[in-house]
Structure 1
Amino acid sequence: MKAVAELYLSDVRERMAEVRRLGDRALSQLDDAGWHRSLAGGGNSAAVLVQHLSGNMHARWGGLRGGYRPDYEGEPASRDRDSEFEESGLAPAELQARWDDGWAVFLDTLDHLTPEDLTRTLTIRGEPHTVLSAVQRQVAHYSGHVYQLVLIVKTLRGDQWQTLSIPRGQSVAYITQMHAAQAAALPDSDEQR
């Protein structure tokens, strides 16, 4: 079972680093004003989502950066969640710093969790969770908000949007290129004899 837990931790680290890079690439396409635009009245801007993600990452994982601690509460009384959803007017550089710092907290915590930690307990708003379920909860939460960021930025950029995946109409060319790269990486069959 330990091997499965190690595989899970390795995979979740890799997947969440990919989610973060996806957000990085979307946010890099915003101009200064774009950070604070929402798509509809009452909607979240990229700035608000960044503030919320950073606040959540600090609350949930800040006390576990060096490893698991028994009786950890992932929603400290010092957190002001509601303020995370208020437009702060922060400059893009400040928002980028919050984004980077929040992700550093979460990814550093993942780096310090052990397979044995996954079955241990922590609480969030007083509700007990295994570390595994707390991580899974946040994987879904963070991924959802990053995809919201992508939608916001893509909509705001319109024709200037630079795709974050395979461009439309390029799937066959992409797969062909991948297969060619894989074939080139294989050892020559004559050399194996």
Structure 2
Amino acid sequence: MKSSYLESIEKQFLYYKMLGEKAMEQLGEEQLFWQYNQEANSIAILVNHIVGNMLSRFTDFLTTDGEKAWRNRDTEFENPFSSKNELMAYWDKGWAYLIDALSKLSESDLETIIYIRNDGHTVIEAMNRQLAHYAYHIGQLVFIAKMLKNEEWKTLSIARNKSNDYNQRKFLNEKDKRHYTDDL
């Protein structure tokens, strides 16, 4: 049986995966490669970096340093993709590594020390670190998508001026322990 932490962290990761996907679904292929300037990241570059990090961190998660010798972080800030399909296949690969690593964890693993660049972390600390890192970059991804879509943007959260409607719907439910993403 999974601990409440493991259930919660998995739902949090999946929530950010969903946000990234719903943002990218709204864009045309060329928009995924748009850069504000040469120093700015495109969505494609953000995906390349996020997935590169996932592959490194979650390959042999409990047994090897999270910064693999084969990882070349600097090239993650270049665009290797030629199509949206290629980009999305890579996105799916990274998330599959993460979810697979999570599925293998148990309560007894949570205080295990793992290393990222020789810095020791408990599994909980490492998971929290990765969640914050991915949320940071997926927030950037969503912001770029929202700018590109402008008035055509379909919100990914509570719509502007709809907070009261959302709250009314939520307060119709009986009080119960549930994750806030359960009804998204």
TM-score (norm 1): 0.84
Q: Give the match for residue 11 of structure 1.
A: 8
* Residue 50 (structure 2) pairs with residue 58 (structure 1): no
The structure with the largest helix share of the pair is: 1
Percent sequence identity is: 37
Task: Give 3-state SS (helix, strand or coil) of 2:3's partner.
Answer: helix
Q: Distance in 2 between matches of 1:158 and 1:41?
A: 22
Distance in 1 (CA, whole Å) between partners of 2:128 and 2:169 is 34
Alpha-carbon spacing, 1:109–1:158, altered in 2? closer, same or farther (3 Å): same
The runs of at least 4 aligned residues of structure 1 exceeding 6 Å deviation read none
| C-alpha distance in structure 1 between counterparts of 2:77 and 2:123, whole Å | 26
| Alignment: residue pair count | 174
Distance 1:119 1:57 in 2: 21
Q: 1:37 aligns with which of 22, 25, 34?
A: 34
Q: How does the TM-score come out when normalised to structure 2? A: 0.88
Q: What does the per-residue CA deviation read over 1:71-125, in whole Å, with 9 as the maximum and x for residues that have no partner?
A: x111111111111101224211000011111011112211211112121122112
Match of 1:154 in 2: 146
Match of 2:116 among 124, 127, 139: 124
2:165 is the counterpart of 1:173: yes
Equivalent in 83, 86, 93 of residue 78 of structure 2: 86
Mapped to 2, the partners of 1:178 and 1:146 lie a distance apart of 26
Work out which of the two has the higher radius of gyration on C-alpha atoms and give 1 or 2: 1
d(CA) in 2 for partners of 1:9 and 1:89?
33
Structure 2 segments unaligned to the other structure (5+ residues): 175-184
1:47 pairs with one of 41, 44, 49: 44
Gaps of 5+ in 1: 184-193
Per-residue CA distance 1:22-47 (angstroms, 9 max, x = gap):
11111111101101112343110000
What secondary structure does 1:63 align onto? Answer: coil
Partner Cα distance (1:62, 1:158) in 2: 38
